Structure 1
Amino acid sequence: MAADTELRHRGALGENTPAFDKLNRPLRDLRLSVIDQCNFRCTYCMPRDVFGADYPFLPSAQRLSFEQMVKLAKAFALLGVEKIRITGGEPLLRRGLESLIEQLAKLTTASGKPMELALTTNGSLLAAKARSLRDAGLNRVTVSLDAVDDAVFRRMSDVDMPVSRILDGIEAARAVGLAPLKVNAVIERGVNDHQILPLVRLFKGSGVAVRFIEYMDVGGADDWSKTKVVTAREARGIVETEFPLTPVLDGEPTGTAVNYRHADGGGEVGFIASVSQPFCGSCSRARVSADGQLYTCLFATHGTDLRPWLTQSASVEQLASAVRGRWIDRDDRYSELRATPRRLSASGKVYPMVRMSLVGG
């Protein structure tokens, strides 16, 4: 038996050994959604015609408590998780989030290193919270920002808020040392592809890395089409019309972005080719929704309910065993297969996956 396959099977026996799935991918990253609500209505994620004022978001009683989330984190740490990313919805809408971060910051990985804590946010509340998040133990922040032009930003986010508020949040996070700081931009052809160069210009030399993401068939993107995808290759070509780039060769092997440095040393630009060049083969990410469902793929249609192991009567080790059992049975690779299963939402709209705001990105 090959050594890596042997390790995967040995990992199935004990709760303090790494977990590997059917494609021999380790469990390294946990994306933990703390709330399914968001104050934006981005057209590709939570369009207002679906997520209106009467949309049945989770009531607070159905969301996992911070105590349950910490228990989850401890169980995932036993299985080899080294990084926890807090997501939503918009995670900064969850009251008292700093308390959760403070508890998670005390955790260590199976190898004894401090757990890395990251957060993804739309940035609207970041200026007010950056320092308290840093003080609680948060390591890094990724801000979703699809345009620097105010009109384009308002149109895509469908919210009456100036883009300057997001930029103030980014500056506040940079000032308190939440680094490395990243800005993620989803690029949709004919909508904001003309914002690629302005985004690079704005953040070049600031210490903020800009990453361009191919428009994916997720969440509210029920009218998704490949014709709307600006590929990573195209986006890089647009950047290089003005800014020469050189490849970064020391990136994370399980990372999602292919990163480049400005040739003059002005920082990094990344490209996430989730449609044109899927990276399922190195995916080490598990996702737990705000109501305690485990999803082993961003494009999953259903999850595994972990709440039976989140009671006081179940131990962390029992929870880890349940997660391990699901992970070692995992063979998801949707983006490689692009099978796009279809189903109807409650509103009659067609969606290919669990809603993005529930499970996070």
Structure 2
Amino acid sequence: MLRQRPSIPADLPAPTGRLVDSRGRPVKDLRISVTDRCNFRCVYCMPKAVFDKDYAFLPRESLLSFEEITRLARLFAAHGVTKIRLTGGEPLLRRNLERLVAQLAAIPGMEVTLTTNGVLLPRKAAALKAAGLARVTVSLDSLDDATFRAMNDMDVPVADVLAGIDAATAAGLGPIKINMVVKRGMNDHEIVPLARHFRGSGHILRFIEFMDVGSSNGWRLDDVVPSAEVVRRIGAHFPLEPVDPNYTGEVAERWRYADGGGEIGVISSVTQAFCSTCTRARLSTEGRLYTCLFAQSGHDLRALLREPRSDAELSAAIGAVWQARDDRYSEIRTAATAGLRKIEMSYIGG
């Protein structure tokens, strides 16, 4: 893995206020991976053939401390970030995560959310809510137990995730977003059953096109179920109407049930690229800043934290990276780019 250090031009002052990249996109969202480990081995993210064989997970001392994460988060907030999403791996494996949530939630104007596979929520949801967590997103790729066990590849039953959703709801972390990664021939038969199950629940089910993130999931274009097809399949059973986005840059295209039964979302990174409005920065478990989910390398902020450097110098480094950002991978995706070696999703967060 590359270890390049971001350069800090001597004449670059610490940026303040709204920060935009070379394509005019502001930074508004920061996704923070708090661990590269997971209790699942999902076939599209951490397949056993790679991650249970010779993959090197990070040693504890390589991980950013909660204090280091919070320091960087405050600097990102000064640049315009208003939302933080904690990811992994599985973020609930990080010990005392509620302490980090409390530190981040104390940043003025910051919304803190979390993406999880849900199985640890029954014992964690109440503490996370008390610490200031606003919402959770839960990954659930099938209601069919055999299909779900095959996809997580750790023989975890669907009931464990559903119990986590119930616990999060009881703790007041709703409405919950539930993400289904759709892979043709594996779980696409579950699109309508999932829609039927969560219709009227108050939760928002979102269908994500299978993406070529990382280099280990065996991605093929033939395995992608286009979002338009997902909408057609659901609409054939439950008529749908398009809904305006909540804000510029929202990644999910929204649809509501015509009879008032709630809404769904589709995330179409493969067939309908949304690079032009992407406002997301990503901070890896060991403090590398990535400007795209499909990046091949990142920028080492941990080295600057531990030298140490001043807040002004760190802020300038962040500004220099974002201002140079030119990423638009999904707009230029080809068979050749899909084959490039990229950072694994379990390391950078989804």
TM-score of the aligned structures, taking structure 2 as reference length: 0.93
- In structure 1, the residue matched to 2:35 is 35
The corresponding residue for 1:237 is 232
Paired with 2:126 and 2:166, the residues of 1 have a C-alpha distance of: 11
Q: Can you list the C-alpha shifts for 1:70-119, whole angstroms capped at 9, x where unaligned?
A: 011011001100100000000000001000001001002xxxxx201110
Deviations 1:212-253 (A, max 9, x none): 001111135542111111000000001011111111114221
Correspondent of 2:141 among 141, 146, 163: 146
8 Å contact 2:43–2:217 — kept in the other structure? no
Name the aligned partner's letter for residue 342 of structure 2. M
Q: How many residues align?
A: 339
1:326 aligned residue (321, 330, 334): 321
Aligned to 2:315, the other structure's residue is in SS state: helix
CA distances 1:185-215 after superposition (whole Å, capped 9, x unpaired): 0001111001001111111111110000011
Which runs of no fewer than 5 residues in structure 2 stay unpaired?
Answer: 1-11
Distance between the aligned counterparts of 1:206 and 1:230, measured in 2?
Answer: 25
Distance 2:329 2:337 in 1: 13
Residue 50 (structure 1) aligns with: 50
- Tell me by how many angstroms 1:308 deviates: 2.7
Alpha-carbon distance in 2 for matches of 1:231, 1:75: 38
Q: 2 CA distance for matches of 1:56 and 1:72? A: 26
SS of the equivalent of 2:49 reads: coil
Task: Tell me the equivalent position of 1:5.
Answer: none
Query: Quick one: which amino acid aligns to residue 140 of structure 1?
Result: R
Judge which range, 217-226 or 134-143, deviates more. 217-226
Question: Which of the residues 172, 175, 184 maps onto 2:179?
Answer: 184
Q: Distance in 1 between matches of 2:346 and 2:335?
A: 19
- What letter matches 1:194 in structure 2? H
Cα RMSD, aligned residues only: 1.6
Matched-pair contact (CA < 8 Å) for 1:219–1:355: yes
Aligned letter for 2:78?
Answer: L
Are 1:255 and 2:250 matched, yes or no? yes
Structure 1 counterpart of 2:332, one-letter code: L
Q: Which amino acid aligns with 1:131?
A: A
2:270 corresponds, among 275, 288, 296, to 275
For residue 316 of structure 1, what is the amino acid of its counterpart?
Answer: D
Alignment of structure 1 residues 185-200 onto 2, 5 Å: 185-200=180-195
Name the aligned partner's letter for residue 25 of structure 1. Answer: R
Equivalents in 2 of 1:169, 1:106: separation in Å? 26
Q: What is the SS of the residue equivalent to 1:286?
A: strand
Tell me the residue number matched to 2:348. Answer: 359
Q: Is the 8 A contact 1:37 1:88 kept in 2?
A: yes
3-state SS, counterpart of residue 76 of structure 1: helix
Q: CA deviation at 1:341?
A: 5.9
State how far apart, in whole Å, the 1-side matches of 2:342 and 2:290 are. 11
Deviations 1:160-207 (A, max 9, x none): 221100000011111211123100000011110010011111111111
Report SS of the residue matched to 1:45: coil
Q: Which residue of 1 aligns with 2:17?
A: 17
How many Å apart are 1:15 and its aligned residue? 2.6
Seq. identity, %? 52
Does residue 175 in structure 1 map to residue 170 in structure 2?
Answer: yes
Q: Does 1:69 align with 2:64?
A: no
The reply on whether 1:311 has 2:306 as its aligned counterpart is: yes
Deviation at 1:272, TM superposition (A): 0.6
Q: TM-score, normalised by structure 1?
A: 0.90
SS in 1 for 2:256: strand
Corresponding residue to 2:279 among 280, 284, 291:
284
Whole-Å Cα distance in 2 between the matches of residues 250 and 227 of structure 1? 29
Which amino acid is the alignment partner of residue 360 of structure 1?
Answer: G
For 2:314, what is the secondary structure of its paired residue?
A: helix
**C-alpha distance in structure 2 between counterparts of 1:201 and 1:333, whole Å:** 35
Q: Which residues of structure 1 form unaligned runs of 5+?
A: 1-11, 109-113, 344-349
Q: Is the Cα–Cα contact under 8 Å of residues 19 and 80 in structure 1 kept in the other structure?
A: yes
Deviation at 1:55, TM superposition (A): 3.0
Q: How many angstroms apart in 2 are the aligned matches of 1:171 and 1:342? A: 40
Q: For residues 337 and 245 of structure 2, what CA distance do their matches in structure 1 show?
A: 38
Query: Is 2:208 the partner of 1:213?
Result: yes
Which residue of the partner structure matches residue 151 of structure 2? 156
Verify: 1:338 aligned to 2:327, yes or no. Answer: no
Amino acid at match of 1:41: R
Deviation at 1:312, TM superposition (A): 7.1
Give the whole-Å Cα distance in 1 for the aligned partners of 2:134 and 2:243.
Answer: 22
Q: Which amino acid aligns with 1:231?
A: P
Cα drift, residue 24 of structure 1: 0.4
Secondary structure of 1:95's counterpart equals: coil
